[in-house]
Chains A and B, each alone.
Chain A
Amino acid sequence: MGILQYAPQALKNLFLPPVTTSYPFEPATYPEGSRGHVDIDIDNCISCGMCTRACPSNALSVDKMKGTWTINRFDCVACGFCVEKCPKKCLSMVIGYETPNNTKSEAVYQKSPEVLEREAKQRAEIAAKAAAAAKAKAEAAAKAKANANSPSETEPKA
């Protein structure tokens, strides 16, 4: 038992510089691989919606027609599960935390017009192909039915 156990450390403290960083006057340092916030390479996004289904805090939403990817930064818990789930790997966790705000605003990412146009064209092509295939199928079915009907009509007579 003693009363001056802490004295050496206390004396040292008098002459040591502060251990804290006076952020924001000095820049903060983050190690590589720090999960700061989610970033998106929006033009590679295929709007599949895997990230919205994976998100534990329902912070993400995707609009395929408008080509937007929306994140509520204040709902996001930066777990990185969307990044892991993304099939096109266009999501990534980047260094740096979100700045504070007094409203729960959403960040909306919009695909560029060229990408939207290309996607619309692709969709139209796919739709046209599907329509053509459906038409062909319907015609084939009608023909088969006609073929099937004619022998069945003749068979009992014979």
Chain B
Amino acid sequence: MGKRSVIPFGPQHPVLPEPIHLDLVVEDERVIEAIPSIGFIHRGLEGLVKKKDFNTMTYIVERTCGICSFQHGMGYCETLEHIMDVEVPDRAKLLRTIWAELNRMHSHLLWLGLLADGFGYENLFYQCWRIREKVLDLHELTAGARLIFSVNKVGGVLRDIDEDKQKIILNTISEVEKELLVIEKTFFNDYTVQSRLKGVGILTKEKAHELGCVGPFARASGLNVDLRKLNYAGYGMIDLEPITSNDCDSYARCYVRLKEIYQSIDIIRQAISKLPADKTISVPVKGNPNGEFITRLEQPRGEAFYYVKANGTPYLDRMRVRTPTFANVLGLCEMLKNTELADVGLLVLTIDPCISCTER
């Protein structure tokens, strides 16, 4: 038995642009325990709700995260719509679904690129980001910006996707699908990729359930959890089956996320084919919210949780967001036990961490 020592990982580390600190207790080169600490960039979103009008807050809440911004705005708006008893038109629901899935595609492609970068496959990294660029162009075409959509409002959406744009979306996602098939082979079959991912960072199904892991991270451990089955937004009109894997390792996480891009492409196709002819995309909302509500939805990284308490004035009493990374950090620490020190950087990436959202 070797001598135990503690090696700090982060808050600044090359694999992540965001600050998470892990105290790694190591014995020789093997990690025995990981103790996390977060909270380096707290921004006080929960206090800001008392100063800003609830409509203005839509634009602040969606800036919780730069990658999954659309889902944040959507979650906040849906919570308020429940409180205010507003029924959103079907077209707006499906438009939200389309944007949410475009967002998921871009997030997963970004993650695949970062993963490739994490295990040192620079060329694969650039290929993933080249494909992602097409999805970002679709964001700009439909919503007006590449990352922060700002198309949600309480009572619907602000922009419509007309038929020309629908055609462009369908063509582009077909191209993305074709190009993804080429790099998929590398991710699934390449010797170097497999040697870094297979059997590394195992989190069993029982442990994942016990620690409350969410999203693709939990699905890769064999848990069949996908909140899109709760039928929020337009998902009630969409046919989908969660993608899971029973391998429980890093390779399974890569598999689940890559397959989810194809699933998103399928959902976008379904949603576009089901867009109703009625062009109403929002309903007028009168008065101020009064009451409280909890919404849960599936972000690219897993379950996000919104709690809003309103008091009948334009300023909310309380607003809380729990992002998926917060739920997954415990799973990460469990998974890091008994791994090689050299794998820690890659394993932190496999939960798809978004530390800055966690600390909003």
Contact = CB atoms under 8 A, between A and B. Distances in A.
Interface of A: 1-3, 5-6, 8-10, 13, 19, 30-31, 33-35, 53-56, 77-81, 84, 93
A54 B60 CA distance: 11
Interface residues of B, number: 31
B76 to A, nearest CB: 13
A33 B144 contact: yes
Given A3-B191, A34-B140, 8 more contacts: A1-B190, A6-B190, A9-B183, A31-B137, A35-B145, A56-B60, A80-B158, A81-B59
Interface string B119-162: 00001100100100100010011001100101000000011000
Given A10-B123, A80-B150, A5 B189 contact: yes
A93 B186 CA distance: 43
A6 B144 contact: no
Nearest to A35: B144
A31 B191 contact: no
- Main SS of chain B's interface residues? helix
Nearest to B138: A31
B56 interface: yes
Contacts of A55: 56
Nearest to A95: B144
B190 A3 contact: yes
A1 B59 contact: no
Contacts of A53: 53
A1 B144 contact: no
A34 B144 contact: yes
B145 A13 contact: no
A1 B189 contact: yes
A1 B133 contact: no
Given A9-B183, A77-B59, A80-B150, A2 B144 contact: no
B123 A80 contact: no
A84 B158 contact: yes
Contacts, number: 68
A37 to B, nearest CB: 12
A81 B123 CA distance: 40
B190 A2 contact: yes
Interface string B43-55: 0000000001101
A56 B59 contact: yes
Contacts of B290: none
B185 A5 contact: yes
B194 interface: yes
Contacts of B123: 6, 10, 13
B190 A31 contact: no
B63 interface: yes
The 4 closest A-B pairs by CB, nearest first: A35-B144, A79-B59, A5-B190, A31-B141
Nearest to B141: A31
A93 B145 CA distance: 11
Nearest to B168: A31
B182 interface: yes
A35 B53 contact: no
A2 B56 CA distance: 53
A9 B127 contact: yes
A1 B148 contact: no
9 contacts: A1-B194, A3-B191, A6-B190, A10-B123, A13-B123, A33-B141, A56-B57, A56-B60, A81-B55
A77 B148 CA distance: 9
Contacts of B60: 56
Give the residue among A79, A84, A93 with the most B Cβ atoms within 10 A. A79
B59 A19 contact: no
Given A19-B130, A79-B148, A9 B182 contact: yes
B52 A2 contact: no
Interface string B178-216: 000011011001111010000000000000000000000
A34 B148 CA distance: 12
A6 B159 CA distance: 40
Nearest to B57: A56
A55 B56 CA distance: 7
B141 A54 contact: no
A78 B145 contact: yes
